[in-house]
Structure formats: C-alpha cells, structure tokens
Amino acid sequence: NAGVMQNPRHLVRRRGQEARLRCSPMKGHSHVYWYRQLPEEGLKFMVYLQKENIIDESGMPKERFSAEFPKEGPSILRIQQVVRGDSAAYFCASSFTDSGETQYFGPGTRLLVL
Amino acid sequence: ELKVEQNPLFLSMQEGKNYTIYCNYSTTSDRLYWYRQDPGKSLESLFVLLSNGAVKQEGRLMASLDTKARLSTLHITAAVHDLSATYFCAVGGSEKLVFGKGTKLTVNP
C-alpha cells in the first residue's frame, strides 16, 4: 500500500514563474491537507480539501496561492508569480476520515525560488 | 487561537542518558500527536494521544498526556544515536493540526 506521494520532490523556479505541486493521497483516503515548513520551523497549515471541495483554507495566503482536489487525479497546490519568500518545504498529508485520525505525510516538495 | 509550544528547542544529550521534551498547548483539543522528522525527510507518526492520562510507549520513547494541564511529554530512555532527529508535537481534532516548532535532538556517543 503506497503511502502519500508528492511530486516533484525538488522544484526550482525563478521569481515570477508558477509552481505546481502535486499530491496523491494514500489509497482510500479522501482528505488532503497541505502544510508549509520554513527552515528550522514547524509545519504551518495551509488548506484542507476533500474531493472537489475546499473545506478550510484559513492558512492559505489570499493572493497567488490556490489548491484543488479534483474528482480524478492528485491534489494540486499552485503558486503563481513566485517570490523568494515562497521558498520552503511543502508537505501534503492525507487521512481516511476527518474524525481526528492520524494524518500521514508525504515526502514533501522542496521549492527554491531564485 | 490554538498555540503549541515545545521546549527545549535544541537538546544535545549523551548516549545512555534520559531526558524529557515538553509540549504545552493553549486551548482544549481532541488529540495530541508526536512526529519525528529526519533531516530532509518527511514526518513519521510516533504517537497519538487521545485522552487525559494516556501513556504510550514504543522502544525508548514514551509519551504521555495531561489534558488538564494541557501538557504532553515525550520521555527518552537510555538514548541512542539513532534517536537523533527533530521531534514535533501537534494538536488538533478534525481538520488542521497546529505544530510546535520542534525539538532538535542530537545524541552524542
């Protein structure tokens, strides 16, 4: 049973470009969470999605960031017009339900903005 | 707003010694989680603590929860080098988790 998969694992973008981060949850999981980790910091919640729905995006910056989890395919975190401050590790987690079950984390995408 | 504080943030200890990492949180919450992260890696789930007085042990690690004090501890017994990593506590029920800043543990021979 494959775990949470994320790709790419490393992504380099120049300022102003777009970054697309993909997350495939564990088999059978329909709840996806995105977190951002700055160097030497803990993870900060960004957004929580179920299939085709955004449930909570309270941690998402209001501009340039968007997320989706379509009926078919992986969840996508999209960052438009990236800036140096977007450089971070972005982790996706999934859970079977939203009843406080353990969230299982993917390997992360390390984004570097030059 | 839920806040989670861990201490210490850095811990250097010798093999064979015992130590405790503390995790305080500001508001009542359903569950408390402990995760381990190795450098450049993802987070590995260690423990989920659900109720007051809960205690869980795995190898040299033991976690406990006091919901009245809003405090969880992660106790390390007879540390070995393989335990070197960053340990995070996280609090939450459904939906989002709020993480502490992590405790970077280094176990020296």
Residues B12-54: tens digit of each pLDDT: 999 999 999 999 999 887 789 999 999 888 899 999 998 888 8
Question: Which tokens in the block code for residue A55?
Answer: 């449930």
Q: Which chain B residues have a beta carbon less than 8 Å from that of A55?
A: 95
Q: Which of B35, B94, B99 sits opposite A98 (nearest CB)?
A: B94
Q: Is there a contact between B101 and A91 if contact means CB atoms under 8 Å apart? A: no
Which residue is it, tokens 């969840």? Answer: A75
Scanning every residue of chain A, which has its alpha carbon at the shortest distance from the alpha carbon of B5? A42
pLDDT tens for each residue of B58-103: 999 999 999 999 999 999 999 999 999 999 999 986 678 999 999 9
Asked if residues B87 and B105 have their Cβ atoms less than 8 Å apart, the reply is: yes
CA closest to A31 among chain B residues = B95
Closest by CA to A68, choosing from A88, A92, A44, is A92
Is B62 near chain A, with CB under 8 Å? Answer: no
Chain B residues within an 8 Å CB radius of A110 = 40
CA distances from B46 to A69, A74, A77, B90, B98 (A): 28, 26, 27, 11, 16
Distance (Å, whole) CA A91 – CA B85: 18
What Rg do the C-alpha atoms of chain A give, in angstroms?
A: 13
Tokens of A62: 């209001």
Per the CB < 8 A criterion, the answer to whether A46 and A111 are in contact is: no
Cα–Cα–Cα angle for A79, A50, B102, rounded to 5 degrees: 65
Q: Looking at CA atoms only, how far is residue B36 from chain A in angstroms?
A: 11
Q: Contacts of residue A57 in chain B, CB cutoff 8 Å?
A: none
Identify the bridge partners of residue A90 per DSSP, sorted by sequence position: A36, A109
- Within 8 A by CB and 6+ apart from A95, the residues are A29, A31, A33, A101, A102, A103, A104
Between A and B, how many CB-CB pairs are < 8 A?
58
Q: How high is the pLDDT of residue A98?
A: 61
**pLDDT one-digit tens code per residue, A26-43:** 988 889 999 999 887 889
> Is residue B72 within 8 Å of B89, Cβ to Cβ?
yes
| Cα-trace Rg, chain B | 13
Reported as a single tens digit per residue, the pLDDT across A56-104 is 999 999 999 999 999 889 999 999 999 999 999 999 999 887 665 788 9
What values do phi and psi take at A67, rounded to 5?
A: -140, 150
* Residue A29 Cα, gap to closest chain B Cα (Å): 14
Search chain A and give the residue with CA nearest B100: A42
Per-residue pLDDT, B40 = 85
Angle made by CA atoms A47, A93, B5, in degrees to the nearest 5:
75
User: Which residues on B lie below 8 Å from A88 (Cβ)?
Assistant: none
